[in-house]
Structure 1
Amino acid sequence: MSCSCTSSSTHDSLEQEVMDKINNHPCYSEGAHQHYARIHVAVAPACNIQCHYCNRKFDCSNESRPGVTSAKLSPEDAVKKVLYVGGEIQQLSVVGIAGPGDALANPAKTFETFRLLQEKAPDLKLCLSTNGLRLPEFIDEIVKYNVDHVTVTINSVDQSGEIGSKIYPWVHWNHKKVFGAQGAKILLEQQLKGIKMLVERGILVKANSVLIPGVNDKELPNVAKKLKELNVFLHNIMPLLSKEEFGTYYGLNGQRSASDQEVMEAQEACGMDMKLMSHCRQCRADAVGLIGEDRGDEFTPDLFKTMTWQALEDKYDMPSRAKKHEIIENWRAALEAANDRIKIEQASKEQLSSTGETKLVAVTTAGEGTINLHFGSATEFLIYEVGDKAIKFVMHRKVENAYCKGPEDCDGSYPIEEIKQTLKDVDLLLTEKIGDCPQGELKSINLISDDSYALQPIEKSVFEAAKKYFFADVQVEKELG
Structure 2
Amino acid sequence: MGGCSVDLDMNFPEETSLDTMLKTSKHPCYSECAHEYARMHIPVAPKCNISCNYCNRKYDCLHESRPGVTSEVLTPQGAYKKYLLVKEKLPNLKVIGIAGPGDALANFEETKKAIELIRENDPEMTICISTNGLMLPEYAEELVQLGVRHVTITINTIDPKIGASIYKWVYYKGKILVGEEGAQVLLNNQLKGLTYLASKGVLCKVNIVMVKGLNDEHIPEVVDKVKECGAFMTNIMPLIPAEGSEFEDMPLVSNKELNELRDKCSLNLKQMYHCKQCRADAIGQLSQDISIEFRGSVSEPQEEKKSDNIGGSELLFAVASKTGRLIDQHFGHVEDFLVYKYTEQGIVLVDKRSIDKYCTGKECDDKDDKMSSIIDLLADCEAVLSMRIGYEPKKKLLERGIKSLELYDAIEDGIEHAVEKLNLKQIS
Normalised to the residue count of structure 1, the TM-score between the two structures is 0.58
How many pairs align?
290
CA distance in 2, matches of 1:50, 1:303: 30
Structure 1 partner of 2:49? 48
Distance 1:135 1:36, change over 3 A: same
Match of 1:106, SS state, is: helix
More helix by share: 1
Q: Is 1:276 matched up with 2:271? A: yes
Q: Kindly provide the CA deviation profile for residues 409-462 of structure 1, in whole angstroms up to 9, marking residues without a partner as x.
A: xxxxxxxxxxxxxxxxxxxxxxxxxxxxxxxxxxxxxxxxxxxxxxxxxxxxxx
**One-letter code of the match for 2:269?**
M
CA RMSD, Structure 1 to Structure 2 (Å): 1.9
Report the CA distance shift for 1:304/1:26 in structure 2 as closer, same or farther (over 3 A).
farther
Question: 1:208-227 counterparts in 2 under 5 A?
Answer: 208-227=207-226
Aligned AA for 2:229? L
1:132–1:125 distance in 2 versus 1, CA, 3 Å: same
User: Deviations 1:71-126 (Å, cap 9, x if unpaired)?
Assistant: 00000010111110011011110000000000000011000000101102323100
Structure 2 partner of 1:364: none
In the TM superposition, residue 12 of structure 1 has moved relative to its aligned partner by 8.4
* Match status 1:248 vs 2:245: yes
SS at match of 2:269: coil
The CA distance in 2 between the partners of 1:42 and 1:217, in whole Å, is 30
Q: Which residues of structure 1 form unaligned runs of 5+?
A: 1-9, 307-481
Q: Which amino acid aligns with 1:276?
A: Q
CA distance in 2, matches of 1:304, 1:175: 34
The aligned counterpart of 1:31 is 33
Q: What letter matches 2:92 in structure 1?
A: Q
Moved more, 74-83 or 291-300: 291-300
Where 1:101 maps in the other structure, the secondary structure is coil
How far apart in 2 are the matches of 1:79 and 1:237?
31
**Max Rg structure:** 1
Aligned to 1:131: 132
Percent identical: 46
3-state SS in 2 of match to 1:219: helix
Deviates more, 1:146-155 or 1:254-263: 254-263
8 Å CA contact 1:81–1:304 kept in 2: the answer is: no
Q: Relative to 1, partners in 2 of residues 1:186 and 1:115: Cα closer, same or farther, differing over 3 Å?
A: same
Asked whether the equivalents of residues 105 and 134 of structure 1 are also in contact (C-alpha less than 8 Å), the reply is yes
Q: Distance in 2 between matches of 1:13 and 1:72?
A: 35
Match of 1:277, SS? coil
Q: What are the within-5 Å matches in structure 2 for residues 436-451 of structure 1?
A: none
What CA deviation, in whole Å up to 9, does each residue of 1:283-324 have, x standing for no partner? 000000000221111113345779xxxxxxxxxxxxxxxxxx
- The CA deviation at 1:70 is 0.1
Show structure 2 runs of 5+ residues with no match.
1-11, 302-428
Higher relative contact order (CA 8 A, sep 6+): 2
Q: Equivalents in 2 of 1:65, 1:19: separation in Å? A: 28
Offset of residue 11 of structure 1? 8.5
Give the 3-state SS of the residue equivalent to 1:169 in structure 2: strand
Q: Which has the higher strand share?
A: 2
Do 1:80 and 1:305's aligned partners in 2 also have CA atoms closer than 8 Å? no
Deviations 1:260-295 (A, max 9, x none): 111012112211111101111000000000002211
Asked whether the equivalents of residues 38 and 93 of structure 1 are also in contact (C-alpha less than 8 Å), the reply is yes
Query: Out of 281, 285, 300, which is 2:295 matched to?
Result: 300
Aligned-partner residue type, residue 25 of structure 2: N
Match of 2:91 in 1: 90
**2:253 partner letter:** A
Structure 2 Cα separation of the partners of residues 199 and 280 of structure 1: 22
CA contact (8 A) 1:53 1:249 kept: yes
- With normalisation by structure 2, the TM-score equals 0.65
- The answer (yes or no) to whether the contact 2:13–2:232 under 8 Å persists in 1 is no
Query: By how many angstroms is 1:16 displaced?
Result: 4.9
